[in-house]
Structure 1
Amino acid sequence: MEKDKQEPSTEASPVLQGDEDLVRGSVTDITSGSQSLHRSLRGKEVQLFAIGGAIGTSLYVQMGSAPPKGGPAGLFIAFVIWAGVMWAVNECFAEMVSYLPVPSPFIRFGSEWVDGALGFAMAWNFFLNMAILVPFEIVAMNIMITFWTDKVPVEAIIVAMIVLYAFLNTITVRYFGISEFYMSIFKVLLMIGLFLFTFVTMVGGNPLHDAYGFRYWKTPFVEHLAPGGTGKFLGVLSCLYQASFSITGPEYIAIVAAETENPRKVLPPAFRSFVWRLLVFFVGSALCIGIVIPYNDPTLLAILGGDMGGSGTGAASPYVIAMQRLKISGLPHLVNALIMTSIFSAGNGLLYSAARTLHGMSLEGHAPRIFAHCTKKG
């Protein structure tokens, strides 16, 4: 009977060639052609990137378009539902990517474990999605600057952002890691500040001494496109669409896997921190927006309807509208400035993801081989 037992296969997966150390949590060799990627991202940088990487304008500004359609409760329920979906996705990513921290991992897993056609479709879909969103963030930066002035040439902003993105993404991955580390700190501090603003003002800590509490939750749901319960259900679905656009992130952690020091030690805590980001930042922000502003706020509706300027800038942020209603000066300018750091960081991360995805596609034969080449600094 003992002779009939087969020894476990020690043959490496086609995706992961070379020695692997399960004790130290390091991978010494990845796959043919990708050795020039350097594992230069440190644990603290990956942790901050995991926490703040996907925090962008949608969390500060674009979420304001959801309450008029679904109400405060509809917005909160939608974000809880989608956070649950993303939690499941995150757990799957955490297991597979920590085991095989290769370039463009979750994309290449489709070819490795399902079918090459799936991997090809996933790769090009994700690459085009990331690449197309980079100009979106550049345009968003230009719009945010109009919060103060419209005299800055659009061409100057576009050129400046392209040059900065190229510098941070083409020299060495260390520049990308350091820049995202500090910008993620700014984004996290901004979210904490907005949460404190919500709590302090709702209990009366504002120039008007208005302890509004949960006043705007008296109408928890809003009818959207249809009357009665059907309209309220459609309102929640509309908020769910906004949640699906706002809550992203585990794919960004996966993308940095091939350039992370000791990935099997660093990546699991990073994926775990994403769960807390879901609960605290995304669900918490959905709750706070329903607290600080009514779903039928005249200023918000005027901006969304195009009757008032400020669409796409900090002026459209529910927090900024609440600050202006409560006669709080100075803070709107600070919030707008910090939102701009989030926009720049989002574009930086999108370009990084697009470039690394194209590199992984080239290694799989789904893109021209020239994109498999890396510089000496990775």
Structure 2
Amino acid sequence: MAGLFSRNRNNEKGEKAPAPVQEVAPGEYSSEEGILGPASLLLGYALMGFVVYVVMVALGEMGAWLPMKKSFSGYASRFVDPAMGFATGWNYFFKYVIVLPNNLTATGILLQKWRPDINVSVWIVVFGVAIIILNLIHVSFFGEAEFWMSLIKALVIMMLILLCFIIALGGGPNGVRTGFYFWQSPGAFAEYSVTIGNNTHVVPGDTGRFLGVWACIVQATFAYLGTELVGVAFGETPNPRKNVPRAVTQTLLRIVFFYIAGVLVLGMAVPYNSKELAQATKKGTSGLASPFTVAAQIAGVAHLDDAVNGLLLIFTISAANSDVYLASRTVWALGKDGQAPHIMQRTNRNGVPVPAVALSSLFIALGFMNATKTAATVFGYFVALVTVFGALNWVAVLVSYIAMIRAMKVQGVDRSVMPYRNVLLPWGAYIALAITVVVIIFSGYAAFIPYFQVDKFLTAYIGIPVYVINVLWWKFVKKTKRVRPEEVDLFTGRRT
């Protein structure tokens, strides 16, 4: 490959050939996982994009037919088993209180680009206090702040995708048109590698390339978590025949243009084996921006890393702010339903559930694991935990939907009477459920490469026994039983 890049020649159309890219040798950088190929990323994000879209349309059909304020946990209780509803509600809470220190850790990593002398834990304290205060004031201010931050996030994503696309077409300062050149050299699929300390372990051959694809699938699962939040409002939206299909369509467009298009243009603009990309991964100071900023650096665009790094701070701070809000409202709802301590349902005169906010904020302390572990390692722990918790939420949605469809069939209710139906259902729910279960079972693959690592194994799988224990506990305490298809209530609260 080095020879191909060093020819410095023009192609038949008079376009410049890609400039030399420094390749990285094993052991030259240190990161938790190696850099993955462009086709691997595209396959991973496309597959999990299908899964999350099916979850959304399943929520859409249930929300338009039988609106529920408790959403995920409410449908699980109504269609499957109250014990599953209890476990799903608490799992949803756990997901957000775990992703909270994850986002604050990411904030600290981003700020270390400018102040590497300040430990990540300091930034966790500063921004942790800030978002607690923000969540204790009136909810209208919270909504206004989130609106503007969400708008900025959408504009930033569009800008980065457009930038990489222009670079790939030769619009960068170096004038090099790469197109899909990097899919051929160094290639579309990379062998999976992991670095522990100063030692890089590469899994060679087809096995390594398969593990590379699987790593992208797990990574995409984490990236898509939270997309289903739009479905929470389906049960409350007016005119569901019009608004639910519109919301689902917007979700599909978001998956295609923000996620799939994003990884596609990155694969066109950055070779996976570039030394610049490896060094950015090692530093960890550019967070998720590193592939975009590396693309700009290779193309000759200067000083973009500082701008993108600053804009990404809005991403992580906004996400942490939302995490406290969603976790506190989840445990507040559980308290109102008698599934959490009674004190959790108390609110102040502004309607803010102060005890629930306090409980949710306690989990910020998990970020202080940075004091004994590197920030990148802690970030990896949180990613593994959140991936399992979030995927279990998808399982709850899909199982609830399948149970509802079976109940409709047993009770003689034709699906055609539903105000919203999607062509991917119900068959798509079975496929998406199978894929999600496989992802959960094998999400801890990294714990076995190159040897068994207890810490990675526990963080990858601890969510599963927590969920099962919650189900069994509630069944034991409340003596709940599985809801039989002929007993499912398909009509109370139905939209007309």
TM-score, L = length of structure 2: 0.57
State which of 35, 46, 64 in structure 2 corresponds to 1:68.
35
User: Residue 375 of structure 1 aligns to a residue in which SS?
Assistant: coil
Match of 1:365 in 2: 338
**What's the CA shift for 1:80?**
0.6
Report SS of the residue matched to 2:160.
Answer: helix
1:295 to 263, 272, 275: 272
- The alpha carbon displacement at 1:210 in A equals 1.4
Equivalent residue for 1:337? 310
8 Å CA contact 1:98, 1:267 repeated in 2: yes
Q: Which residue of 1 aligns with 2:256?
A: 279
Q: State the distance in 2 between where 1:267 and 1:178 align.
A: 23
CA distance in 2, matches of 1:145, 1:92: 39
Distance between the aligned counterparts of 2:172 and 2:230, measured in 1? 39
Displacement of 1:230? 3.4
* One-letter amino acid matched to 1:273: Q
Which one of the candidate residues 167, 184, 192 is aligned to 1:201? 167
Is the CA contact 1:93–1:250 (under 8 Å) kept in the aligned structure 2?
A: no
* 1:171/1:266 CA distance change after superposition, 3 Å: farther
Structure 2 counterpart of 1:323: 296
Q: Deviations over 1:95-143 (max 9, x none)?
A: 2234555443112221122112111221222211211221221121111
Which deviates more, 82-91 or 295-304? 295-304
1:180 Cα deviation after fit: 1.4
Cα displacement string for residues 231-267 of structure 1 (whole angstroms, at most 9, x for unaligned residues): 3222211111111111123432244568x77484755
Who is 2:156 aligned against?
190
Cα displacement (A) at 1:152: 5.3
Q: Alignment RMSD, CA only?
A: 2.7
Deviations 1:3-43 (A, max 9, x none): xxxxxxxxxxxxxxxxxxxxxxxxxxxxxxxxxxxxxxxxx
Kindly indicate whether the alpha-carbon contact (under 8 Å) linking 1:314 and 1:335 is maintained by their aligned counterparts in 2.
no
Question: Hey, what's the Cα distance between the residues in 2 that align with 1:270 and 1:124?
Answer: 26
Identify the residue that residue 375 of structure 1 maps to in structure 2: 348
**Residue deviations 1:80-107, cap 9 Å, x none?**
1110011100001122234555443112
With 71-80 and 174-183 compared, the bigger mean Cα shift is at: 174-183
Shift in alpha-carbon separation, 1:67–1:162, aligned structure 2, 3 A: closer
Q: Following the alignment from structure 1 to structure 2, what is the Cα–Cα distance between the partners of residues 257 and 369?
A: 28
Aligned match of 1:140 in 100, 106, 120?
Answer: 106
| CA drift at 1:151 | 4.9
Partner in structure 2 of residue 150 of structure 1:
116
Mapped partners of 1:128, 1:139: distance in 2 = 17
Match 1:125 to one of 86, 91, 99 = 91
Could you say which residue in structure 2 is the equivalent of 1:36? none
Structure 2 residue matching 1:188: 3-state secondary structure: helix
Q: Does 1:223 align with 2:191?
A: yes
CA distance in 2, matches of 1:66, 1:289: 18
Matches within 5 A, 1:256-275: 262=238, 264=240, 269-275=246-252
Contact 2:173/2:300 (8 A) holds in 1:
yes
1:355 aligned residue (318, 328, 345): 328
Of 163, 173, 196, 2:139 maps to 173
* Contact 1:103/1:356 (<8 A) preserved: no
What's the offset of the Cα at 1:333? 1.2
Deviation per CA, 1:140-164: give whole Å up to 9, x if none: 1111111112355756633442333
> Cα distance, 1:214 vs. partner?
1.6
Distance in 1 (CA, whole Å) between partners of 2:314 and 2:172 is 27
SS of aligned partner of 2:35: helix
**TM-fit CA distance, 1:183:** 0.8
Q: Is the 8 A contact 2:72 2:89 kept in 1?
A: no
Specify every segment of 5 or more residues in structure 2 that has no aligned partner in the other structure, as ranges. Answer: 1-30, 193-201, 352-496
The residue that corresponds to 1:115 in the other structure is: 81
- The answer to which structure, 1 or 2, has the higher relative contact order (CA under 8 A, 6+ apart) is 1
Q: Given that residues 191 and 211 in structure 2 are in contact (C-alpha distance below 8 angstroms), is that contact kept between their aligned partners in structure 1?
A: yes
CA deviations over 1:196-221 (Å, ceiling 9, x no partner): 21122122222212122221111112
Query: Counterpart of 2:284?
Result: 311
Q: Structure 1: 5+ residue runs without aligned partners?
A: 1-63
Matched AA of 1:180: E
Displacement of 1:226 in angstroms is 4.4
CA contact (8 A) 1:109 1:119 kept: yes
Q: Is the 8 A contact 2:289 2:312 kept in 1?
A: no
Distance 1:254 1:123 in 2: 15
* Cα distance in structure 1, aligned partners of 2:213 and 2:119: 40
Q: 1:314 to 1:130 in 2, by over 3 A?
A: closer
In 1, are the aligned partners of 2:191 and 2:208 still within 8 Å (CA)? yes
CA contact (8 A) 1:93 1:254 kept: yes
CA separation of 1:270 and 1:328: change in aligned 2, threshold 3 A:
same
Give the CA deviation at 1:193: 0.7
Q: Structure 1 vs Structure 2: percent identity of aligned residues?
A: 32
